[in-house]
Amino acid sequence: MEKLIIKGGKKLEGEVNISAAKNSVLPILAATILNGNNCTIENMPMLEDVFVICEVLKSLKANVIIDKLNNRVKINTANLFDNESNDELVRKMRASFLIMGPMLGRFGNFKISLPGGCNIGTRPIDLHLKGLSALGAEITVGHGYVEANAKKLIGSNIYLDYPSVGATENIMMAAALAEGETVIGNAAEEPEIVDLAMFLKAMGAQISGEGTDTIRILGVKDFKEVVHKPIYDRIEAGTFMITAAITKSLFKINGVNEVHLKPIIAKLTEMGVAVEINKNSIIVDGRKKLNPIDIKTMPYPGFPTDMQAQMMSLLCTVKGTSIITETVFENRFMQAVELKRMGANIKIDGRSAVIEGIDTFTGSEVKATDLRAGAALILAGLTAEGTTVIEDIYHIDRGYVSIEEKLKRLGADIERVSYCK
Ligand code: EPZ
């Protein structure tokens, strides 16, 4: 087991480089299933979740080369078996369910273990299945599995009840090899959807409207070799922006896309954080006194739910009353319990959290309950009086590449230590 030990109160300075987006590379790795030729993904973040989905692909007999030295992954799925996936691996990471659409698109049938829920919510897949059945798949769910069969996938008009990121991705990938045109209405508009579409189009897919609420996919017969460089991780960049604000520091963040960061820049600016954009970099100055604000998480381009926990930590240190409303997931305030161990004043009422600013967090022993809750605890530890020890940091490693190394380079007093439980 490993834990992080943070001595709070340090001012940070210098520069940090953002990695490529976890929520881009996971669907892109799944999409290689569609393509029997070589797929090369550059600037691959070496994250736990990336290794899991690569293991899932290997379990399906894909040829996967992970080049950690050059941050590159090369995949060839020419010899893919359309057998069932490895249950244990699929259950380990629910994003593995993103192989359903491409496997169905390529082989016309696939059986996979139902993805579990997780700490932040039940994470249903009804919209994924509704979309795949609209393409002509016969879906059966039972004994903890979901199976999809289709002699041929036929393009169709699908209107999503909710702009689900995963459902949009699964349908897009299945439709890429379907006969005719598929139109996805009320589609997710996240930058990661656009990045997946760019990857698919680079392979030869016919897609338009990505990034809007209506995406059109015209099925093709086959694909060609592709090399792709994913977009930067807007959530990692946002996490470091909040790092500057909560430690009252000024530093530079390299590897950002201003458009993708708009909702985060808007809310931090409203609080009094000064930001200066220079092409793919942003200088964040959190040294001024900040004001309390209200936050409501929404699908993109609204304020991202993946930034909610980190924002909660920041708002706990701002005098006055702030309210966070979490509209995307039903149980995404787990970090509040741990933040209260550090002295936070937070009242949870259903989907709302009322936060009264405190003078400072006090260092404590806390546990990461999920990926972004873990990031929120690091932020609190960086500004806390005394020492904070964070356990179960495997959650954090799923979405942040060597976060303690990046923070150390900025001047934080943070160490990763191994221990036996
Ligand atoms: C993706 O999850 C991200 N994960 C999540 O990031 C992110 O929080 C989420 O999108 C929202 O932006 C990856 O991309 C790997 P959804 P996903 O389907 O696709 C409901 C992180 O921290 N829903 O848009 O699972 C669902 O219950 C992770 O990096 C249905 O009801 O999100 C939720 O309330 C956490 N039926 C809402 O939609 C469905 O069939 C949003 O889910 C699917 C979803």
Q: What is the pTM of this model?
A: 0.97
Cα(202) to centroid(ligand 1), Å: 25
Atom of ligand 1 nearest to the CA of 120: 35
Atom of ligand 1 nearest to the CA of 129: 40
Residues 253-294: tens digit of each pLDDT: 999 999 999 999 999 999 999 999 999 999 999 999 999 999
Among 77, 62, 141, 149, which residue's Cα sits nearest to residue 110? Answer: 149
Q: Residue written as tokens 């954080």?
A: 273
Structure tokens at 6: 């943070």
Structure tokens at 276: 């200066």
- Quick one: pLDDT at residue 421? 72
- Quick one: pLDDT at residue 6? 98
Mutation choice for ligand 1 from 162, 297, 308, 398, CB with most ligand atoms inside 8 A: 162
In tens digits, the chain (421 residues) has pLDDT values of 999 999 999 999 999 999 999 999 999 999 999 999 999 999 999 999 999 999 999 999 999 999 999 999 999 999 987 666 677 778 878 889 999 999 999 999 999 998 866 778 878 899 999 999 999 999 999 999 999 999 899 999 999 999 999 999 999 999 999 999 999 999 999 999 999 999 999 999 999 999 999 999 999 999 999 999 999 999 999 999 999 999 999 999 999 999 999 999 999 999 999 999 999 999 999 999 999 999 999 999 999 999 999 999 999 999 999 999 999 999 999 999 999 999 999 999 999 999 999 999 999 999 999 999 999 999 999 999 999 999 999 999 999 999 999 999 999 999 999 988 7
Atom of ligand 1 nearest to the CA of 122: 27
Return d(Cα 275, Cα 331) in angstroms, integer.
31
φ, ψ for residue 231 (rounded to 5)? -70, 165
Residue with CA closest to ligand 1 atom 9: 165
Among 165, 223, 143, which residue's Cα sits nearest to residue 22? Answer: 165
Q: What is the number of helices (H) and of strands (E) in the chain? A: 14, 23
Cα(415) to centroid(ligand 1), Å: 32
Atom of ligand 1 nearest to the CA of 399: 29
Residue with CA closest to ligand 1 atom 1: 165
Is 220 in a helix, a strand, or coil?
coil
Cα(98) to centroid(ligand 1), Å: 12
Is 63 in a helix, a strand, or coil?
strand
Return d(Cα 26, Cα 349) in angstroms, integer.
33
Return d(Cα 395, Cα 20) in angstroms, integer.
18
- Quick one: pLDDT at residue 13? 98
- Residues with a CB atom less than 6 Å from ligand 1: 22-23, 26, 95, 121, 123-128, 162, 164-167, 188, 305-306, 328-329, 371-372, 399
Name the CA dihedral angle for 20, 254, 379, 119, rounded to a multiple of 10 degrees: -20
Mutation choice for ligand 1 from 328, 332, 333, 400, CB with most ligand atoms inside 8 A: 328
Cα(351) to centroid(ligand 1), Å: 16
Cα(276) to centroid(ligand 1), Å: 31
Structure tokens at 230: 């994913």
Cα(274) to centroid(ligand 1), Å: 31
Q: Residue written as tokens 């300075």?
A: 13
Residue with CA closest to ligand 1 atom 26: 123
Cα(352) to centroid(ligand 1), Å: 19
Catalytic residue IDs: 118
How many whole angstroms from its chain centre is CA 86?
23
DSSP tag of 309: H
Residue with CA closest to ligand 1 atom 6: 306
Contact in structure between 135 and 178 (CB atoms under 8 Å): yes
Mutation choice for ligand 1 from 52, 56, 123, 371, CB with most ligand atoms inside 8 A: 123
How many whole angstroms from its chain centre is CA 297?
15
Atom of ligand 1 nearest to the CA of 169: 19
